[in-house]
């Protein structure tokens, strides 16, 4: 990643006016108020749903902690000696029906993660669902707070406002959605924060080993790995391969010899799950969804090609941005890291709203080095788009708003920084 420092250029009057408006309207006090209101509204609605639950199904017909239940059931299959059938959707459905009985829900939340993910949830199979879900939510919040505390060590302007940053982060819809569903997406925050800290300390091998834990959600790994290859960070890549090997051996030894190959067979079809019955298509949020949702399943191949072309263009632009020497102590390194984590979810063929939680880290990094009103407007745009996006997509127009907002916000940031990240 680049060591280049940002150079400013003359800004258009419209950007100057936007900058002033953002400074005036989006103060920290107002942001805290908006965040508090959002959290309270979520808590009230979610509480009403829980209060009217029937078994594990809430008042609105949603499974309480649906992703957490799916992960627990995958671990239960291993515990019961069915590791070789971990991706047998019929057996998964049978486990889900038994867990929800006598209630039923349409469709099925299938376990499609790499097999070693299920190993992490073996301890949770001994707990009642409600207790386990509550404990998992606490771990999710701790992941957010822990990630912010790690990044705050390298962002001195954030440290005095850490409580406010935590509040704003917990009001971010991807974080709320991850807590509500019980997904493991919030662990990605801790993984990327720890990897960033290791890179800042020139501990590349450790950074790579930590990054291997992100294989639990591999859809976010393409961009970081491409950048590491581009920058010739071979020690980081070696650390990553060692960590990946440990996870692979664990899957083969403790699940089944065919566990990894079974997952590899289904992995190419994951992007098509956006159109599976019962799948909440409105929470798909990558540039692929920008084409797949409007064109529909009958034009899936065309949409995928279009998404791939846009993703390749975005990666090419990122590599150009990250050209130059590698100097973790310079501001340009932080700006490049922010760009990597902004682009990582955008180019994933299979990505849902909760995966956008990692945008919290680049938001902190950018706020440290680009303290402008325009940046506040960019953050607010993404925050608002993630909040209303699923409702708009499912009820008004089949186009996901979050990736559009992220692209627009990235453009604002680039204009604010200047002509990108350039050499000293």
CB atoms within 10 A of CB 70: 26
Q: Is residue 293 part of a domain?
A: yes
Residue 157 resides in a domain: yes
Within 10 A of 50 (CB to CB), how many other CB atoms are there?
A: 12
Q: Which of 4-13, 195-204, 217-226 has the lowest mean pLDDT?
A: 4-13
Mean pLDDT in residue range 206-210: 98
**412 lies in a domain?**
yes
Residue 277 near residue 107, CB atoms below 8 Å:
yes
Report the pLDDT value the prediction gives residue 417, as an integer from 0 to 100.
Answer: 63
pLDDT digits (tens, 9 = 90+) for 42-87: 999 999 999 999 999 999 999 999 999 999 999 999 999 999 999 9
Question: What is the 8-class DSSP label of residue 346?
Answer: H
Q: What is the mean pLDDT of residues 88-115?
A: 92
**138 CB-side CA count, 13 A:** 6
Helix, coil or strand: residue 54: strand
Question: Which pLDDT belongs to residue 11?
Answer: 57
pLDDT for 420 equals 37
- Residue 273 in any domain: the answer is no
Helix, coil or strand: residue 1: coil
Give the model's pLDDT for residue 273. Answer: 84
Length of the chain: 424
Rounded Cα–Cα distance for residues 352 and 93 (Å): 22
- CA 78 to centroid of chain Cα atoms: 27
Q: Which residue has the higher pLDDT, 5 or 47?
A: 47
Indicate whether 324 belongs to any domain.
Answer: yes
Query: 276 lies in a domain?
Result: no
User: Following DSSP, what letter does each residue of 260-297 receive, concatenated?
Assistant: HHHHHHHGGGGGGGGGSTT--GGGB-SHHHHHHHHH-G
421: three-class secondary structure by DSSP? strand
Number of domains in the chain: 1
Which domain does 311 fall in, by range?
Answer: 5-265+282-422
pLDDT of residue 1: 47
Question: Residue 7 is encoded by which pair of tokens?
Answer: 């150079």
Reduce the DSSP state of residue 86 to 3 states and report it. Answer: coil
Mean pLDDT of the chain: 90
pLDDT of residue 13: 73
| pLDDT given at position 207 | 98
Q: What is the pLDDT of residue 143?
A: 97
Phi, psi (rounded to 5 degrees) for 54:
-125, 105
Cα–Cα distance for residue pair 338/169, rounded to 1 Å: 16
Could you report how far apart the first and last alpha carbons of the chain are, in Å? 14
Over residues 240-282, the pLDDT tens digits come to 999 999 999 999 999 999 899 999 999 888 888 888 877 889 9
Looking at residue 80, its pLDDT comes to 96
> What are the Cα distances from residue 6, in Å, to 1, 331, 419?
14, 8, 8
Question: Token pair of 355, please?
Answer: 């995966």
Q: Mean per-residue pLDDT for 392-408?
A: 93
Average pLDDT over residues 139-153: 97
Q: Please report which helix (H) or strand (E) contains residue 308, including its range.
A: helix 300-321
User: Which range is least confidently modeled, 6-20, 85-99, 263-277, 285-299?
Assistant: 6-20
- pLDDT above 90: percentage of residues in the chain: 76
Residues 6 or more apart in contact with residue 356 via CB below 8 angstroms: 174, 285, 345, 386, 402, 406
Q: Span 105-129, mean pLDDT?
A: 93
pLDDT, residue 20, reads 83
Q: What is the DSSP letter of 85?
A: G
**pLDDT at site 333:** 92
Per the structure block, which two tokens stand in for 161? 């406002």
Burial class (CB in 10 A: 0-12, 13-18, 19+), 345: buried
Residue 62 included in any domain? yes
pLDDT of residue 368: 86
Least confident of 104-108, 246-250, 296-300, 376-380: 104-108
Q: What percentage of the chain exceeds 70 in pLDDT?
A: 95
Q: Are 359 and 413 spatial neighbours (Cβ–Cβ below 8 Å)? A: no
Cβ atoms 118, 74 nearer than 8 A: yes
In a domain, residue 296? The reply is yes
How large is the greatest C-alpha to C-alpha distance in the chain, in angstroms?
66
Alpha-carbon distances of 154 from 73, 198, 365, rounded to whole Å: 39, 11, 9
**pLDDT tops 60 at residue 331:** yes
């Amino acid at each position: 990643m680049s060591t280049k420092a940002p150079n400013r250029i003359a800004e258009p009057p419209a950007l100057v006016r936007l900058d002033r408006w953002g400074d005036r309207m989006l103060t920290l006090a107002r942001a805290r108020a908006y965040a508090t209101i959002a959290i309270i509204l979520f808590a009230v609605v979610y509480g009403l749903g829980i209060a009217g639950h029937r078994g594990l199904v809430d008042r609105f017909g949603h499974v309480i902690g649906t992703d957490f239940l799916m992960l627990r059931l995958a671990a239960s299959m291993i515990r019961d000696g069915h590791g070789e059938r971990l991706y047998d959707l019929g057996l998964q459905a049978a486990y889900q029906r038994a867990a929800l009985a006598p209630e039923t829900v349409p469709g099925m939340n299938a376990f499609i993660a790499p097999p070693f993910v299920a190993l992490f949830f073996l301890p949770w199979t001994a707990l009642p669902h409600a207790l386990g879900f509550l404990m998992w939510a606490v771990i999710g919040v701790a992941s957010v707070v822990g990630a912010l505390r790690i990044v705050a060590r390298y962002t001195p302007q954030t440290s005095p406002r850490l409580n406010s940053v935590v509040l704003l982060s917990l009001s971010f819809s991807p974080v709320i959605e991850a807590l509500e569903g019980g997904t493991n997406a919030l662990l990605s925050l801790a993984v990327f924060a720890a990897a960033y800290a290791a890179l800042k300390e020139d501990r590349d091998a450790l950074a790579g080993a930590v990054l291997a834990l992100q294989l639990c959600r591999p859809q976010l790994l393409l961009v970081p790995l491409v950048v590491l290859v581009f920058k010739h960070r071979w020690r980081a890549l070696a650390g990553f391969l060692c960590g990946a090997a440990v996870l692979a051996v664990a899957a083969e030894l403790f699940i089944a010899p065919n566990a990894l190959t079974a997952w590899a067979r289904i992995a190419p079809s994951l992007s098509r799950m956006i159109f599976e019955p019962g799948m909440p298509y409105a929470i798909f949020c990558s540039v692929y969804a920008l084409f797949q949702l409007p064109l529909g399943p009958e034009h899936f191949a065309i949409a995928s090609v279009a998404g791939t072309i846009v993703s390749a263009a975005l990666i090419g632009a990122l590599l150009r941005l990250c050209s130059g020497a590698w100097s973790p102590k310079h501001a340009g390194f932080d700006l490049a890291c922010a760009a990597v984590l902004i682009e990582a979810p955008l180019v994933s063929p299979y990505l849902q709203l909760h995966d956008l939680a990692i945008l919290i880290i680049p938001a902190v990094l950018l706020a440290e080095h680009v303290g402008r009103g325009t940046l506040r407007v960019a953050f607010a745009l993404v925050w608002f788009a993630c909040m209303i996006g699923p409702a708009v997509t499912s009820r008004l127009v089949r186009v996901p708003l979050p990736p559009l907002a992220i692209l627009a916000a990235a453009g604002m940031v680039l204009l604010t920084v200047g002509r990108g990240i350039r050499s000293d």
